[in-house]
Amino acid sequence: MATTSDIRKGLCIRYNNDIYKIIDFLHVKPGKGPAFVRTKLKSVTNGKVLENTFSAGHKIEDIRVETHKYQFLYNDNDEYHFMNVDDYNQISLNKTIIDNAELMKEGEMISISINTEDNTPLSAEMPASVILEIKHTEPGLKGNTATNATKPATLETGAIVNVPLFINEGDKIKVDTEKGHYIERIKNQLN
């Protein structure tokens, strides 16, 4: 058993007969009254997000998890297939467990948290950013860098991201996987 002082991002807990992952929290100590912790919880079974407030010292049942590196192989509809890079075992996850799954390309490395009690996958975390190529967008015009105007662009994975007007087809961009936003254009790299 853990208490509210043990709450951190990524902690998996059992709450309301379900398993939730803490995606955000805030310890609050008001001037009057007892301290409490505001949390944002995401169900690992159905992906629903709810907010809850725990009073200070409240007992919470944490779930023991192990995190392993997996390589993304392919997807068929809502099922995404991965291979453990250590023992080559394969697992499949539903799309709802993975945030911004449409930003994953084949070969991408992600971390998957597994419940040690029954070996069920609980959550999947992508890297903070990914580099993807633009497959389709309207052509950019010279001088379109002064404003913050954007246009939609289709990436190699099929995801659509808003990019600045100067981005063209074939450019590689860095995308934030948490919010699904454009970060920067990648200059040509020599491999």
Q: Is 150 exposed, middle or buried (0-12, 13-18, 19+ CB in 10 A)?
A: middle
How far apart (Å, rounded) are the C-alpha atoms in residues 80 and 18?
23
pLDDT digits 0-9 by tens, 16-70: 888 888 889 998 888 888 889 999 998 877 778 899 998 888 888 888 888 889 9
Does the residue 191 lie in any domain?
no
14 in a structural domain: yes
- Round the average pLDDT of the chain to a whole number and report it: 85
Of 42, 62, 82, the domain-final residue: 62
Closest CA to 51 of 65, 63, 64, 36: 36
What CA–CA distance (Å, rounded) separates 13 from 144?
48
Q: Which helix (H) or strand (E) holds 65?
A: strand 65-76
How much is the pTM? 0.70
58 shares its domain with 69: no
One domain, residues 51 and 79: no
For CA atoms 80, 178, 85, 155, the dihedral sign is positive
Domain carrying residue 143? 130-186
Whether 101 and 139 map to the same domain: the answer is no
- Contact by Cβ (8 Å): 154, 148: no
94 shares a domain with 47:
no
Share of the chain above pLDDT 90, in %: 13
- pLDDT over 50 at 191, yes or no: no
Q: Which of 121, 13, 143, 180 is nearest to 25 (CA)?
A: 13
**CATH assignment at residue 143:** 2.40.50.140
Let me know whether 54 and 70 are in one domain.
Answer: no
Domain count within the chain: 3
Residues 79 and 50 occupy one common structural domain: no
Confirm whether 114 is domain-assigned: yes
Query: Looking at the domain assignment, is residue 88 inside a domain?
Result: yes
Are 135 and 179 found together in one domain? Answer: yes
Q: Considering 62, 77, 101, which residue would you say is the last residue of a domain?
A: 62
Whether residue 164 sits in one domain with residue 134 = yes
| Co-location of 139 and 92 in the same domain | no
Tens of pLDDT along 159-182?
Answer: 899 988 888 888 899 999 888 888
